[in-house]
Amino acid sequence: MTTRITELFGIQYPIIQAGMVWVSGWRLASAVSAAGGLGLIGSGSMNPELLAEHIRKARQATERPLGVNIPLLRGDAEDLVRVTIDEGIRIVFTSAGHPGKYLSLMKDAGCVVAHVVPSLKHAKKVESVGCDAVVAEGFEAGGHNGYEETTTLSLLPIVADAVGIPLIAAGGIADGRQMLAAFALGAEGVQIGTRFAATVESSAHDVFKQKIVESGDGDTVLTLRKLAPVRLIRTPFAQRAVEAEARGAGKEELAELLGRKREKRGMFEGDLEEGEFEAGQSATLVRTIDTAADVLRNLLSEYRGATARLPEIPES
């Protein structure tokens, strides 16, 4: 399967496992890469030393291309970038910050750089600063989200029309039908989070994996809009955030409510009451905890099946 994305990253299938805090360490990333996709180590929950360790273990586990996701808003983002380069990684997905930050550092080292955005305006900036690809992520995505609330279906075609660099679709994609939809909309690759969070190789706590599997329609919610919009599974903490928002709580009150370390307490430690569990609307489609390789296999076979079912329009 060849697109500009498979060629850019040197991978077999244009399927990228999203870098996720507390979830995508070396085990998940290397499993996805070994199966022909692109695995990303999520450095957002790692200090530079731990990141170096994860990169080494992942590179021992597979010789295939691997990437790292780096949130640019982190105070020590430059250290994460340097460790990534020093440890031999040449694929970087940046997010949460200005796409031009540390870009020349990475390009000088020979990196291919993609940047994640939630809106058309940001996508244009990604191209203008010189990134190699753009990830357009819709409202249905788990975790941090944009203020425009533009959905994947609405965002992809306008970004495809506006930029010349290859487009990766993110947000709401868990099966091969949705992957085909993303390609119909102009994407040349897909970035998948929630589906990979609930795999055998994910470092998410079993409680988190189980919550994803059990989630039905309406069981995630975008909240903390005045602070930094985030999509969460409706656990007790998320519900408290929703209620605070509904009564008009301001940024400060929300920041206090959120406090610290809720991501770790939820996704890594499995604290259902106080933790935060980031997941996308596609959780509804995740019904089993599979291996990463099986997820890829299923995506490809569902993609083929959905392609075969498409009705043709006769030329009139």
Smallest distance from the beta carbon of 180 to its own copies, in angstroms?
4
Q: Which of 112, 181, 190, 230 binds its own copies (CB under 8 A)?
A: 181
Q: Which of 188, 201, 271, 278 binds its own copies (CB under 8 A)?
A: 188
Q: Which of 108, 164, 246, 260 binds its own copies (CB under 8 A)?
A: 246
Q: Which of 9, 22, 93, 183 binds its own copies (CB under 8 A)?
A: 183
Q: Between the CA atoms of 137, 81, 267 and 195, what dihedral angle is there, to the nearest 10 degrees? A: 40
Q: Which stretch binds its own copies (CB under 8 A): 20-28, 89-97, 135-143, 195-203?
A: 135-143
Crossing angle of helices 292-309 and 176-184, rounded to 10°: 60
Please enumerate in sequence order all residues whose Cβ is within 8 A of that of 186, keeping only pairs 6 or more positions apart, or say none. Answer: 156, 157, 159, 160, 161, 167
Distance CA 314, CA 283 (A): 37
Smallest distance from the beta carbon of 306 to its own copies, in angstroms?
5
Residue 268 contacts residue 159 (beta carbons within 8 Å): no
Is there binding between residue 288 and its own copies (CB under 8 A)?
Answer: no
Stretch 87-126: interaction string toward its own copies, x if CB under 8 A: --------------------------------xxx-----
Q: Which of 109, 158, 257, 272 binds its own copies (CB under 8 A)?
A: 158
**Residue number, 268 or 303, with CB nearest to its own copies:** 303
Is there binding between residue 285 and its own copies (CB under 8 A)?
Answer: yes
- Of 102, 98, 56, whose CA–CA distance to 82 is shortest? 102
Crossing angle of helices 176-184 and 152-162, rounded to 10°: 40
Is there binding between residue 251 and its own copies (CB under 8 A)?
Answer: no
